[in-house]
């Protein structure tokens, strides 16, 4: 891994991408804190330990795991990482049950529920213990200040994290951003379809210098904010 791990620098602060184009988690590191935003699929834990060794940091320095929402591809590695570091795990209260694997899907989203139960079984998933709750507008003091932005729709408790230091938004599943396709999350994955569009518009109206989604091709926040604005225009 080493040089292969994509990362960006903002002074002494860094953001590392874990996982890959299918789904990414992000490690935010500075002198005072080490925050993991989402935990990808189960394998991310191995990548994380390797990365920490390479940058000379200890798993014990982990400050918190912030979950954008309860979907399995964002929470997969959380319980293992929590077990080995005793780190706090934060999620919006509306997604607490989802993280625990207890959620009633309706309509289109039932397909997603089925996928998730199969995935939980196949990956021998055990949920992390949610220790803390996120609230809209809440400011977390880490990485120069992270502001919670509640962006419901995809799931009721879906949140993004605005980085005051860089003006970037870690946008979770508000949209997916690839060169070959920039799109809203597919119907079957959304709990509330109207909220998905409203959240996209809300993000497009924010004063952002960059966006880092969870499903994307290259780690270039300025590129994703441009794509997000084009998508917003297109979807009216």
Size of the site for Zn ion (CB under 5 A): 3
Q: Which two tokens stand for residue 54?
A: 């390479």
Separation between Cα atoms, residue 180 and residue 116, nearest integer Å: 26
Could you tell me which stretch among 51-59, 81-89, 121-129, 167-175 binds Zn ion (CB under 5 A)? 167-175
Instruction: List alpha helices for the chain, DSSP H.
Output: 44-55, 72-75, 78-85, 96-99, 110-122, 193-204, 221-234
CB of 31 to Zn ion, least distance (A): 31
Of 71 and 150, CB closest to Zn ion:
71
Subset of residues 46 to 105 that bind Zn ion, contact rule: CB under 5 A = 71, 73
- Exposed, middle or buried by CB within 10 Å (0-12, 13-18, 19+), for 197? middle
**Which residue lies nearest Zn ion, judged by its C-beta?**
71
Whole-Å CA distances, 79 to 94, 130, 140, 230: 19, 10, 22, 37
In this complex, which beta carbon is closest to Zn ion, that of residue 80 or of residue 191? 191
Site for Zn ion in 171-200 (CB under 5 A): 173
Q: For residue 77, what are the CA distances in angstroms to 24, 108, 132, 235? A: 12, 27, 18, 33
| Residue 13 or 174 with smaller CB distance to Zn ion | 174
Nearer to Zn ion (CB atom), residue 172 or residue 221:
172
What minimum distance in Å lies between the beta carbon of 172 and Zn ion? 7
Least distance in angstroms from the C-beta of 72 to Zn ion:
9
Alpha-carbon Rg for the chain in angstroms: 16
- Pick the closer one to Zn ion by CB: 56 or 122: 122
141 Cβ neighbours under 8 A, 6+ residues apart: none
Q: How far is the CB of 9 from Zn ion (least distance, A)?
A: 26
- Joined together, the tokens standing for residue 66 give 């912030």
Question: Which range in 92-100, 127-135, 144-152, 169-177 contacts Zn ion by CB under 5 A?
Answer: 169-177
Rounded least distance, CB 54 to Zn ion, Å = 26
Q: Which is nearer to Zn ion, 213 or 221 (CB)?
A: 213
Contact residues for Zn ion, defined by CB under 5 A = 71, 73, 173
């Amino acid at each position: 891994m080493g040089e292969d791990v994509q990362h960006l620098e903002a002074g002494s602060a860094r953001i590392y991408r874990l996982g890959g184009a299918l789904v990414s988690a992000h490690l935010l590191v500075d002198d005072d804190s080490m925050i993991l935003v989402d935990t990808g699929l189960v394998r991310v834990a191995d990548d994380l330990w390797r990365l920490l060794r390479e940058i000379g940091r200890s798993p014990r320095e982990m400050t918190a795991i912030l979950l954008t929402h309860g979907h399995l591809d964002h929470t997969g590695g959380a319980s293992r990482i929590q077990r080995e570091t005793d780190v706090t795990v934060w999620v919006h209260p509306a997604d607490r049950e989802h993280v625990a694997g207890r959620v009633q899907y309706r309509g289109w989203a039932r397909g997603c529920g089925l996928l998730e139960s199969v995935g939980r079984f196949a990956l021998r998933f055990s949920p992390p213990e949610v220790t803390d709750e996120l609230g809209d507008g809440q400011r977390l003091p880490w990485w120069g200040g992270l502001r919670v932005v509640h962006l419901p729709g995809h799931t009721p408790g879906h949140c993004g994290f605005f980085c005051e230091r860089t003006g970037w938004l870690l946008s979770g599943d508000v949209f997916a951003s690839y060169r070959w396709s920039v799109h809203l999350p597919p119907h079957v994955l959304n709990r509330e379809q109207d909220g998905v569009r409203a959240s996209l518009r809300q993000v497009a109206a924010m004063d952002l210098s960059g966006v880092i989604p969870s499903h994307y091709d290259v780690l270039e926040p300025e590129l994703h904010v441009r794509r997000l604005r084009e998508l917003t225009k297109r979807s009216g």
